[in-house]
Amino acid sequence: MMKIGILIGSLSQKSYSRKIAQFIVNSFPNIAFMELNYRQLSLYDPDLEVTNCPINWQAFRLAIRKFNALLFVTPEYNYSIPGGLKNALDILSGADTEDLLIDKPTMIITDSSGNRGGLIANLQLQQVLRMLGMRVFNNEVTLSKVQELFNDQDELIDQSSRDFLIANVTEFYDFIKHT
């Protein structure tokens, strides 16, 4: 079974990004999704690599190897990606991680409460992931006015958003298989 690790850009328990991820997990029972929770990672410091590499960095780096692909679901924060997510990516690019992300397929979904669906963060994250050597799925998957898309039970009720996400994840699935 294909394994996809999910990184959610928001740490909020009420996060819309998390609800979007949950919709995808529920919609694709043929894929083994697992969230990679990076909340506990300490701030990246190159000085620690050689003598005192934090165990949480080592565990995170090892965990990444288990997945065929990574899916990012993140809001835009101040025209960029949230700092915690960037810190997690910096940790994956540190020493002894040369081949960790090389050619690993990845898809980005951004969302925002405004009209652009976090497009600026989406493009910036594409750039970071390409820099890390990942195979980035090219579609810009963005959801605008995300607070209007769910009901009180956290279900995605907007049909065009449901269709849009399912079509893109299906395409991503084929993209991974042709790696």
Footprint of ligand FMN (CB under 6 A): 10, 12, 15-17, 75-79, 112-114, 116, 118, 146
Q: How far apart are CA 104 and CA 123, in angstroms?
A: 18
Helices 159-177 and 16-27 meet at what angle, rounded to 10?
60
68 vs 113, which CB is nearer to ligand FMN? 113
Strand (E) positions, 48-178?
Answer: 69-75, 105-111, 135-136, 141-143
- Closest contact distance (angstroms) between CB of 81 and ligand FMN is 10
73 vs 92, which CB is nearer to ligand FMN? 73
- Closest contact distance (angstroms) between CB of 19 and ligand FMN is 8
- Closest contact distance (angstroms) between CB of 36 and ligand FMN is 16
- Closest contact distance (angstroms) between CB of 113 and ligand FMN is 4
30 vs 147, which CB is nearer to ligand FMN? 147
